[in-house]
Amino acid sequence: MIIDRLPSSLKNMLTYAVSIFLVKGISLIMLPIMAQFLSPAQLGKLELLATTTVFLSLLVGLAMHENLYRFVGELKCKVEQFNKVSQLYTYAVMLSLMVGSIVTIVLFLLPPLQSVFTVLDIALLCTVLGFESALGISMAWLRFKDRATSFLVISVVSTVFQVSAIVVVLYIAPVVTYIYAVGVLTGLLQLVILHKTNGFTWSWGGLKNLNKLLKYSFPLMLSTLVAFGLTGAEKWIIGYSFSIETLGLYAVAAKFSLAMCILIQPFSMWWMPKRFNALLYRGNEYTARVTQCGFVYITILAISAASVSQLFITWSLPSDYFPAVELLTGVIIVALFKELSDLFNIGILQQKKTQLLLVMNVVCTLVGLGLCLTLSSYGIWGIIGSIAFAQGSRAAALLYFSQRLVKLPFQFTALLLILINTLSCLALGFIYTHPVWLILITLFGAIFNLAIAYRYEFLSVFDFPRFSSDLQRTVRGS
Whether the per-residue pLDDT at 9 is higher than 70: the answer is no
Question: What is the tens place of the pLDDT at every residue in 154-185?
Answer: 888 888 898 899 999 999 989 999 999 999 99
Q: What is the pLDDT of residues 330-388, one digit of tens each?
A: 999 999 999 999 899 888 888 878 778 888 888 998 999 899 888 888 888 999 999 99
pTM higher than 0.85, yes or no? Answer: no
Domain boundary assignment for the chain? 1-231
With beta carbons less than 8 A apart as the criterion, state whether 343 and 391 touch.
no
Work out the pLDDT band at 6, boundaries 50, 70, 90: low
pLDDT at 70 over 90: no
Find the range with the poorest average confidence among 145-149, 347-351, 362-366, 426-430. 145-149
